[in-house]
């Protein structure tokens, strides 16, 4: 009984952090209307920022996440402005180009920090009832994610979020209203990358930091967005937690490789089984 509860709790924490990433992916898909294959690389970036900080003695994810977010925002805006925006509607350049960015980052990380997993000192966890281990970083991740997503939901439904919703619905109208659609696009892109990096920083104490650690979270956020859609932050949050728990259970009872394969299979099944939903997602581009 106990291992299951533990798996559930840990999955809850990781899922909450992934929800941040999935929400970022939803923003990119909805506002910028692209599939960003470099999203996972920003997650990895966040984790490495946390690692570097931990090496210098600042082990707390609360410090690492904002710094990672700022760095990722800068990179994301640069990427969005110089590459994603001009190349958006190109069916070849965009996925291949964002994949190139992801691989670029993976290899650079491998050259700087090596391919071997690195770990971060997590600090002593609390021990709950019945020997349940409550990891401190997990609670922080859960609370931060819930707070940030709650803030995002509020922003989107209030006046500041209006430009984003308008661009997601109908770009021509947004343009004719005088909105700087290009700027909003690359700023949103940067913001979403910041969210992914924050998720990476928050989750970094959980296990191994490797150059390719972002691939699974990328797939996971795609699965969440495809299934839960882009409209409800709450749905994204809940589904991410569900997948986090599932993934944790899979990794615990089988092996981490199997949870990665399970994610891949989920992506394939979703894409094969819901072409209509996918077409709706893709059709928004026009």
Partner 1 sequence: MRNAASFRAPKVSLRGGTPPARSTWRGGGWLAAGIGLLLLFPLSSPDAFFLDVFTTGFLLAVFAASWDVVGGVSGQITLGHALPFGAAAYACALLTSFAGWPLPLAVGAAVLLAAVVGAGIGTLSAPLTGPFVALLTLALGEIAHEVAVGHTFFSGPGGYAWGGEGGIPVALPWRDASPFSSYYAALAFLCLASFGMLRFLRSEAGLILRAVAGSPVTAQASGVPIARFKRLAFAVGSAFAGAAGAGFVLHVGRATATDLSLELSFQAATFAAVGGRGTIVGPVVAALVLHLLFQGLSLPPSARVLLYALTLLLALRFFPGGVVGTARDLASRPGGKEGGRSPRRRGRNRNGEGAP
User: Least distance from C-beta 277 to partner 1, angstroms?
Assistant: 10
DSSP H helical ranges for 28-83: 39-55, 61-79
CB nearer to partner 1: give 26 or 141. 26
Query: Nearer to partner 1 by C-beta: 147 or 261?
Result: 261
**Eight-state DSSP code of residue 176:** H
Beta strand residue intervals within the chain, DSSP E: 126-127, 133-134
Of 155 and 278, nearer to partner 1 (C-beta) is 278
Which of 127, 143, 279, 280 touches partner 1 (CB under 8 A)? 279
- Report the 10 Å Cβ neighbour count for 122: 17
Contact 83, 97 (CB under 8 A): yes
Distance of closest approach, residue 214 Cβ to partner 1, in angstroms: 13
Q: Which pair of structure tokens corresponds to residue 126?
A: 């609390």
Q: How far apart are CA 280 and CA 40, in angstroms?
A: 24
- Are the C-beta atoms of residues 165 and 156 closer than 8 Å to each other? yes
Q: Closer to partner 1 at the Cβ: 95 or 125? A: 95
For partner 1, give the closer residue by CB, 135 or 215: 215
User: Which residues inside 7-36 make contact with partner 1, applying CB under 8 A?
Assistant: 34-35
- For residue 134, the surrounding DSSP H or E stretch is strand 133-134
| Residues within window 213-252 making contact with partner 1, judged by CB under 8 A | 215, 219, 222
With 0-12 CB in 10 A as exposed, 13-18 as middle and 19+ as buried, what is 178? exposed
Residues 67-126 that bind partner 1 (CB under 8 A): 82-83, 87, 89-97, 99-101, 103-104, 106-108, 110-111
Q: In whole angstroms, how large is the CA radius of gyration of the chain?
A: 18
Point out which span in 8-16, 194-202, 229-237, 275-283 binds partner 1 (CB under 8 A).
275-283
Q: Which residues pair with 209 in a beta bridge?
A: 118
User: What is the per-residue binding string for partner 1 in 155-194, x denoting contact by CB under 8 A?
Assistant: ----------------------------------------
Q: Where on the chain is the footprint of partner 1 (CB under 8 A)? A: 34-35, 37, 82-83, 87, 89-97, 99-101, 103-104, 106-108, 110-111, 215, 219, 222, 257, 260-261, 264-265, 267-268, 271-272, 275, 278-279, 282, 286
């Amino acid at each position: 009984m106990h291992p299951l509860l533990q798996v559930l709790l840990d999955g809850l924490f990781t899922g909450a952090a992934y929800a941040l990433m999935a929400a970022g992916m939803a923003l990119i898909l909805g506002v910028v209307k692209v599939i960003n294959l470099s999203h996972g690389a920003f997650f990895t970036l966040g984790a490495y920022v946390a690692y570097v900080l931990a090496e210098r003695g600042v082990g707390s994810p609360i410090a690492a996440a904002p710094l990672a977010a700022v760095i990722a925002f800068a990179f994301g805006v640069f990427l969005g402005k110089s590459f994603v925006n001009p190349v958006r509607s190109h069916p070849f350049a965009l996925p291949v180009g964002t994949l190139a960015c992801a691989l670029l980052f993976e290899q650079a990380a491998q050259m700087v920090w090596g391919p071997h997993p690195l770990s971060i000192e997590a600090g002593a966890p609390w021990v709950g009832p019945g020997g349940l281990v409550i990891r401190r970083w997990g609670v922080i991740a859960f609370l931060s994610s819930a707070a940030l997503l709650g803030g995002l939901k509020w922003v989107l439904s209030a006046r500041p979020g209006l430009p984003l919703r308008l661009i997601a619905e109908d770009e021509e109208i947004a343009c004719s209203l005088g909105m700087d659609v290009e700027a909003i696009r690359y700023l949103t892109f940067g913001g979403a990358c910041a969210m992914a990096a924050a998720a990476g920083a928050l989750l970094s104490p959980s296990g191994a930091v490797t150059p390719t650690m972002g691939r699974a979270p990328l797939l996971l956020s795609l699965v969440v967005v495809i299934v839960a859609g882009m409209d409800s932050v709450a749905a994204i949050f809940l589904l991410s937690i569900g997948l986090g728990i599932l993934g944790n259970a899979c990794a615990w009872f089988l092996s981490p490789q199997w949870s990665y394969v399970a994610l891949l299979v989920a992506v394939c099944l979703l894409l094969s089984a819901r072409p209509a939903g996918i077409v709706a997602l893709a059709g928004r581009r026009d």
